[in-house]
């Protein structure tokens, strides 16, 4: 595709409900990242995938958050039992690779984000 796409663009949910956020990376990009951005805050790292595996889940805020990636392409971030503090913009990014042995020295291409509001 032309770029990273995310859906939905906006999601309003009631506290306690589960939500799924979807990310379609650029075709051929093996690495995929999820970030969270609260109002006026920086980019908070959540998780990344290399292929279908997630070597680093250290950024997930709690066990209510999970993510998966299938077929080395689409990824889904799931938040269970949403809380008001989960309200934020969730950004997905992809990159061509993840620098063998030394980490992510590839530029990341970001999607437009999903704005999640928990009422």
Partner 1 sequence: QQPVQSPQAVILREGEDAVINCSSSKALYSVHWYRQKHGEAPVFLMILLKGGEQKGHEKISASFNEKKQQSSLYLTASQLSYSGTYFCGTERANPAGTALIFGKGTTLSVSS
Contact pattern for partner 1 over residues 47 through 66, marking x by CB under 8 A: -x------xx--x-------
What is the distance between the alpha carbons of residues 93 and 35, in angstroms, rounded to a whole number?
A: 8
102 binds partner 1 (CB under 8 A): yes
Q: Choose which of 9, 41, 117, 119 interacts with partner 1 (CB under 8 A).
A: 41
What is the distance between the alpha carbons of residues 60 and 48, in angstroms, rounded to a whole number?
A: 10
Number of residues that bind partner 1 (CB under 8 A): 28
| Span 5-34, contacts to partner 1 by CB under 8 A | 33
Please name which of 118, 104, 115, 119 lies closest in space to residue 37, comparing C-alpha atoms. 115
Please, are residues 87 and 20 in contact by the beta-carbon 8 Å criterion?
no
In the complex, least distance from residue 116 CB atom to partner 1, rounded to whole angstroms: 16
Please name which of 30, 48, 43, 26 lies closest in space to residue 109, comparing C-alpha atoms. 26
Q: Rule CB under 8 A: which residues touch partner 1?
A: 4, 33, 35, 41-45, 48, 55-56, 59, 91, 93, 98-99, 101-105, 107-113
């Amino acid at each position: 595709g032309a770029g990273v796409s995310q859906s939905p663009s906006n999601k309003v949910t009631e506290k306690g409900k589960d939500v799924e956020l979807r990310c379609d990376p650029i075709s051929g990009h093996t690495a995929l990242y999820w970030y969270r951005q609260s109002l006026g805050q920086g980019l908070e790292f959540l998780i990344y995938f290399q292929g279908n595996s997630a070597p680093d889940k250290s950024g997930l805020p709690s066990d209510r958050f999970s993510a998966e990636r299938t077929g080395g392409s689409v990824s889904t971030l799931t938040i269970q039992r949403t809380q008001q503090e989960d309200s934020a913009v969730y950004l997905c990014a992809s990159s061509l690779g993840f620098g063998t042995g030394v980490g992510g020295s590839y530029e990341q291409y970001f999607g437009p984000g999903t704005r999640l509001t928990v009422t």
